[in-house]
Amino acid sequence: MLSERCYINDIIKAAGKLSVNIVDEGMLPEADYVGSASGAKVDKSGVFEFETGEAETPIIEKAPLTMECTVVDVYETKGFESFICMIDNTYVEEEHLNEDGKINYQTLKPVLFEFPTYEYLRTGEVIGKCLSFKKDPQKEDHKMSTVQMPETSNRI
């Protein structure tokens, strides 16, 4: 989702493709800058070293994970444009693959940007396995406790 005023939006629409370069803490200062400076006012192309991927989108060399995507739709809401994409290619540093060749987010630790507070959050800790919370929450007994309140009198 990008603000509808972003300079890059028209470029993405014309190309019909984009790359998603995942940010880790090592590249956060540069990512913070490019995320806050307008491409209409500043040439940001020299901030990161990059190469072109198979789908001809920019692959930031410092990014631990990059996905090249084809835009299949643009969903517009008040003030924003959301690009609905299909992933064409994924590039990941080998050190962030587990023994099964899957991405290990415990080592990758992508940084999240929390929009309402404009804060960056650290990730990487496992909090549970999918399907390990198998109880149906609708069948659990969620009785509320009743608290006895002292009787009050309405004296004037």
4-18, 58-72, 75-89: lowest mean pLDDT where? 4-18
Expressed in angstroms, the distance from the first to the final Cα of the chain is: 61
The answer as to whether 133 is a domain residue is no
pLDDT in tens, 84-137: 999 999 999 999 999 999 999 999 999 999 988 999 999 988 888 888 887 777
Give the pLDDT confidence score for residue 155 in this predicted structure: 41
Q: Contact at 8 Å (CB) between 21 and 8?
A: no
The answer as to whether 57 is a domain residue is yes
pLDDT in tens, 7-36: 788 889 999 999 999 999 999 999 999 988
Phi and psi, residue 128, nearest 5°: 165, 160
The answer as to whether 65 is a domain residue is yes
Phi and psi, residue 91, nearest 5°: -125, 130
pLDDT band at 156 (very low <50, low <70, confident <90, very high): very low
- What pTM was estimated for this model as a whole? 0.77
Supply the range of the domain harboring residue 86. Answer: 2-121
The answer as to whether 135 is a domain residue is no
pLDDT band at 5 (very low <50, low <70, confident <90, very high): low
Eight-class DSSP state of 97: B
For residue 54, what are its two tokens?
């198979």
Give the pLDDT confidence score for residue 145 in this predicted structure: 56
The answer as to whether 96 is a domain residue is yes
Give the pLDDT confidence score for residue 134 in this predicted structure: 77
Residue 53 has pLDDT above 70, yes or no: yes
The answer as to whether 7 is a domain residue is yes
The answer as to whether 128 is a domain residue is no
> What is the number of structural domains in the chain?
1
User: What's the CATH code of the domain at 55?
Assistant: 2.30.110.10
The answer as to whether 141 is a domain residue is no
Residue 148 contacts by C-beta under 8 Å, 6 or more apart in sequence? none
Residue 151 has pLDDT above 60, yes or no: no
